[in-house]
Amino acid sequence: MSDDAKGIQFREAHFPGRAPIDAYGDGGFRFAQMSHRGSILCLPSGIYGWNVSDNSEFTVGNFRKLLEEASEIEVLLVGMGEELIAINPLLRKALREASISADPMSTGAAVRTFNVLLAEGRAVSAALLAVQ
C-alpha cells in the first residue's frame, strides 16, 4: 500500500439543500430520500448532522454553525425532544443579538412547523433533537 492511501475517510454528515423532514423517531430523521441517526440542524446551507443528544447541550457553542448563517434566518424552531425546558439564557441572548426569533417546542411539533414554514418559503431553520 502506498503512503498516499488513506483508507476510510469520515466526513461531516451534510445534505446540501433545503428539504422537508419526512419522518422522525427511532433516534433519527428521514429527509430527501435519506436517513440520519442522531440530531440535525436544518440551515439555509443544508441539513447537518448535529452532535447533540440532550437539550442540556443547547449552548452557544453547539449553535455556532447556525449563528454563522444568521443573516439568512428569521425563525429558529428548537426541537427539544420530549421535555420542554427554557432555552439557555446565554443562547437566547446570542440568538436575539443575531436577530433570530427562537421558538422551543417538542421535536415533533418543530418538525411539523418546519415543514409548513419551509413550504411557504420562509427563512426558517431548525435545531432538532433526535427522539425515540
Residue 106 has pLDDT above 80, yes or no: yes
**Cα(69)–Cα(38) distance, integer angstroms:** 22
Q: The pTM is what?
A: 0.88
**Cα(21)–Cα(42) distance, integer angstroms:** 9
**Cα(127)–Cα(65) distance, integer angstroms:** 11
Domains located in the chain, CATH noted: 14-128 (3.40.1230.10)
**Cα(120)–Cα(127) distance, integer angstroms:** 19
**Cα(68)–Cα(95) distance, integer angstroms:** 11
Give mean pLDDT, residues 23-49: 96
**Hey, what's the cell of 121?**
418559503
- pLDDT tens digits along 39-59: 999 999 999 999 999 999 999
**Cα(16)–Cα(13) distance, integer angstroms:** 10
